[in-house]
Amino acid sequence: MSQAGPVPPPDLLTAARAAPGFMPDDEGRALYEAARAVTVPGPLLEIGSWMGKSALYLAAAARETGRQVVTVDHHRGSEEHQPGWEYHDPSLVDPAVGLVDTLPRFRRTIADAGAEDVVLAVVARSEVLAPLWSTPLALLFLDGSHTEESARRDQDAWVAKVAVDGTLAIHDVFPDPADGGQAPFGVYSRVLASGEFTEMPGTGSLRLLRRG
């Protein structure tokens, strides 16, 4: 009796929908389509990975277009994930150091989806990595910590690295303060006001800008 072969990995978009995280599928699909449509060379880079949901939407596009996805996250969680805050999950705390650690869950998400060949994880604060990074980006996805200070820091560190005709995607952009925090909206507004980017159709809280 022959043994069954290895179980094939799931379709990456299906895996992305099932992965833990906060991105609605319509916004994830829009991110996938934007990444798939970029024509300039370069990697897809995201700031803020959490457990890998958005990375899989990007990975689906990367696999189809022969690119790599680079994810940048310190994996210690944002402010809202810390003890006493709204989205704190005690199961994510590493008891050896007493700090949130989402890296094991992220790695499991990517491995279970069979996406380790296209997703490269960099465990670092984005502002620490940025001075070491020189490759123009085909797409930059900003979805890190949403405090005003950290959002401005990510903008200052990374937006200039988007290639001409490349795409900048910004998540959780809420013009109305009643709908959510204003830091990503501030980044979106400042980038658009710079005149270096033009807006493309977005979906939900996902804004898409192309560098001219």
Instruction: Cite the active site residues.
Output: 146
Question: Cα–Cα distances in Å, from 166 out to 6, 121, 199?
Answer: 38, 21, 12
b/e per residue, 152-177, with b = 16+ CB within 10 A? ebbbebbbebbbeebbbbbbbbbeee
Are the C-beta atoms of 158 and 135 separated by less than 8 Å? no
- Identify residue 162 by its one-letter amino acid code: V
